[in-house]
Amino acid sequence: MPDASLKKKTFDYYKALYAIASEVDSMEALEKELAALVKGTAEAMGAKGCSIFLLTEDGASLIRGASYGISARYIGRVWTVELDALTMETLKGEPRIIRDATTDPRVKQHHAQIKMEGIASIASVPLIVQGKVIGVLRLYTDRPTEFSAADVAFLSGVANLGASAISRDQVITAIGQQYEHRLREKSEELAKLAEARNKLIESVSVVAHDLKAPLAAIQSYFGVMLGGYAGELNEKQRQMIERSSIRIDGLLNLISDLLDISRIEMGQVAKEMETISLPDILKGPLEDAKTLVDKQNIVLTVDAPPDLPPVRGSPARLKQVFRNLLGNAVKFTPGGGTISVKISESDGEIVCKVRDTGIGIPAEDIPRIFNDFYRASNAKDISGTGLGLSIVKKIVEAHKGEIQATSPCPETGKGSEFTFTLPLADFPPTQGEKEISTQAN
């Protein structure tokens, strides 16, 4: 006579289902989740073993997803299972019970193999996701068993857990595949944008270079005319030529800035690297700034110890950084104000600060102050290309440094403070690079 139940003692299926769900939920990989599920189910029901089979995409066969309690010999024979009558019935969406697996014709495996494995009864339950059967869960007992309604309900609950785990994994896999596909698309788009950007930079460089020569020639002729070397000019003619000369100066400055950007973007800074002393680099820009501040009655102070450690950098480009920052400070600081430059060492890098007591930068403009062609809202009436600070940022970053703007200056409560850092020259120069302490021009 078959047993009335799998266990003689009353079994708390709700507690078992909760324990299995907790175990499955703690696993990260689907393979481990299914392994925990079949093991927990077999142990909870006191059965010989348990397996989960997944339906192949073509629906022609089953592939074993996980198995517990079945010998390696038997597992090897049934790794891929054809759709026997038992499977076909289960795939219709209803549980099926085989009380005597050694004689029931619905079981595909040879009955001798089943006897050798010690399997007496089989319960087969569908795995269903959103109304679609995706596989089956099979429980094997080693004695003839009458599966009660509670037994079947418990197995159906376990099957739902398995189906949820598989569905979740499929969703994650699908999302991952979609993400990878989108990532490839975006990478291709970025590559195309980078290629287009490089072509644009090259085109801008060529056009700017071609424009600079004729404009410089025109400016030279204006100088000759304004100097009286081409004959006397009346006042109206002089005013027209002076205004035109100012416009030409603006165009030449814009072209120079565009050429600088294109050269920096194309990696020229790296080719100009040397071991240099930053206080020495500062000397030339300071001389230029002193000429301007003397005319405007602005006090200029400098704190740049000559014994500071060297940095690796492009002398010409770092001079450009100081010239741009000092030029801006002079431009936006009224007479009677102060400008200060301080260079120091801190935490393995050189820190440079340029401060002024000028008109400052509105808070809403600071996040965009280093953007190409951006001009602060309180500087619209002051001449400039809007590229000076953008070039400064590109140069500093090409030196593996950082720059930031603060307004008002924390020290004075007025104007602005620009701070940029450069790493120390703690590595030897590459072949062909010079080790010099560059003197200011």
> 282 vs 231, which has greater pLDDT?
282
**pLDDT of 28:** 56
Average pLDDT (171-176) is 49
- Whether the CB-CB separation of 108 and 82 falls below 8 Å is answered with yes
Q: In this structure, which long-range contacts are made by residues 171-178, counting pairs with CB atoms below 8 Å and at least 24 apart in sequence? A: none
**pLDDT of 104:** 87
Rounded CA separation 16/438 (Å): 79
Q: Which of 305, 315, 407, 314 is nearest to 352 (CA)?
A: 305
Domain 270-423 is in which class?
Answer: alpha beta
Rounded CA separation 360/382 (Å): 13
Is pLDDT of 176 > 60? no
Q: Which two tokens stand for residue 156?
A: 């159906």
Task: Give, in order, the Cα–Cα distances in Å from 326 to each of 144, 385, 390.
Answer: 94, 16, 15
Q: What is the DSSP track for 101-157?
A: TTT-TT--S-HHHHHHHT--EEEEEEEEETTEEEEEEEEEESS-B---HHHHHHHHH
- Whether the CB-CB separation of 342 and 403 falls below 8 Å is answered with no
pLDDT tier for residue 1 given thresholds of 50, 70 and 90: very low
- Residues 193-235: tens digit of each pLDDT: 777 666 766 666 666 667 777 878 888 878 888 888 888 888 8
Q: How far is CA 82 from the centre of its chain?
A: 47
Q: Which of 269, 341, 270 is nearest to 308 (CA)?
A: 341
312 three-class SS: strand
pLDDT tier for residue 167 given thresholds of 50, 70 and 90: low
> 8 vs 271, which has greater pLDDT?
271
Q: What is the strand order of the sheet 80-82 is part of? A: 80-82, 61-68, 49-55, 132-141, 121-129, 96-98
- Residues 2-60: tens digit of each pLDDT: 444 454 344 466 566 656 666 555 555 677 888 888 888 888 888 999 988 888 777 77
**pLDDT of 77:** 52
**pLDDT of 24:** 56
Q: Which two tokens stand for residue 390?
A: 């953008």
The rounded radius of gyration (Å) of the Cα atoms in the chain is 40
Place of tokens 């597992």: 75
- Whether the CB-CB separation of 378 and 339 falls below 8 Å is answered with no
**pLDDT of 76:** 60
**pLDDT of 65:** 79
Rounded CA separation 98/124 (Å): 8
**pLDDT of 207:** 67
**pLDDT of 293:** 86
**pLDDT of 351:** 94
Q: Which of 124, 138, 18, 8 is nearest to 66 (CA)?
A: 138
pLDDT tier for residue 406 given thresholds of 50, 70 and 90: very high
If phi over 0 gives left and psi between -120 and 50 gives alpha, with beta otherwise, what is residue 147? Answer: beta
Rounded CA separation 291/313 (Å): 26
- Whether the CB-CB separation of 341 and 422 falls below 8 Å is answered with no
Q: Which of 317, 318, 292 is nearest to 304 (CA)?
A: 318
User: pTM of the entire structure?
Assistant: 0.50
Average pLDDT (251-280) is 79
- Residues 121-140: tens digit of each pLDDT: 999 898 888 788 888 888 99
**Average pLDDT score over the chain:** 79
Angle between helices 149-226 and 235-265 (to 10 degrees): 140
Pair type for strands 338-346 and 299-303: parallel
Q: Which of 121, 78, 75, 123 is nearest to 101 (CA)?
A: 121
- Whether the CB-CB separation of 52 and 135 falls below 8 Å is answered with yes
- Range name among 54-58, 90-94, 280-284, 313-317 with the lowest pLDDT average: 54-58
Backbone angles phi, psi at 382, to 5 degrees: -105, 135
Domain 13-177 is in which class?
Answer: alpha beta
Backbone angles phi, psi at 182, to 5 degrees: -65, -35
pLDDT tier for residue 310 given thresholds of 50, 70 and 90: very high
Q: Which of 339, 238, 234, 353 is nearest to 297 (CA)?
A: 339
pLDDT tier for residue 437 given thresholds of 50, 70 and 90: very low
For the chain, what percent of residues have pLDDT higher than 90? 20
Is pLDDT of 428 > 80? no
pLDDT tier for residue 344 given thresholds of 50, 70 and 90: very high
Is pLDDT of 304 > 50? yes
Rounded CA separation 147/100 (Å): 12
Q: Which of 279, 273, 386 is nearest to 328 (CA)?
A: 386
Segment of 10-19, 66-75, 211-220, 415-424 carrying the highest mean pLDDT: 415-424
pLDDT tier for residue 430 given thresholds of 50, 70 and 90: very low
For the chain, what percent of residues have pLDDT higher than 70? 79
Q: Which of 394, 388, 303, 398 is nearest to 351 (CA)?
A: 303
**pLDDT of 341:** 93
User: 233-243 as b/e, with b when 16 or more CB fall inside 10 Å?
Assistant: beeeeeeebee
pLDDT tier for residue 249 given thresholds of 50, 70 and 90: confident
Place of tokens 């100009």: 272
